Amino acid sequence: MQTVPLQLSDVIYNAATQSFEALVTVHDTVRERSYACAISAPITMEFEDAAKGLATQAMRRHSNGRSSGLHMPASIAPRHPHRLAGLRRMTIDTFAALRPRAA
């Protein structure tokens, strides 16, 4: 079994979802990929156990992406860019909206 170096960045506990989250970078001989990982666990879980779970999830995703060739880089545009097109054109004049309340 080959050992692949991993780097865990910004490991946090999200109390809203009750999970540990991190950005895990897998350094492969061919490429380097980052994965946003999360594992459901209580806040009392040991950090080493949480890190091991996050690393396992990243390695699973990395090996699945390598074998199927379906992993896409994060820089690819969203699938539905037209959904936000109307919001980009909408501008709000904050001062004009608050002037009637100032008087």
CA gap 68, 92 in Å, rounded: 46
CB-count burial class (<10 Å; 0-12, 13-18, 19+) for 17: exposed
Q: What's the average model confidence in pLDDT over 61-66?
A: 78
CA gap 38, 13 in Å, rounded: 9
- Under 8 Å between Cβ of 1 and 20: no
pTM for the whole structure: 0.60
- The 10s digit of each residue's pLDDT in 8-46 is 988 999 999 999 999 999 888 878 888 999 999 999 999
CA gap 90, 99 in Å, rounded: 20
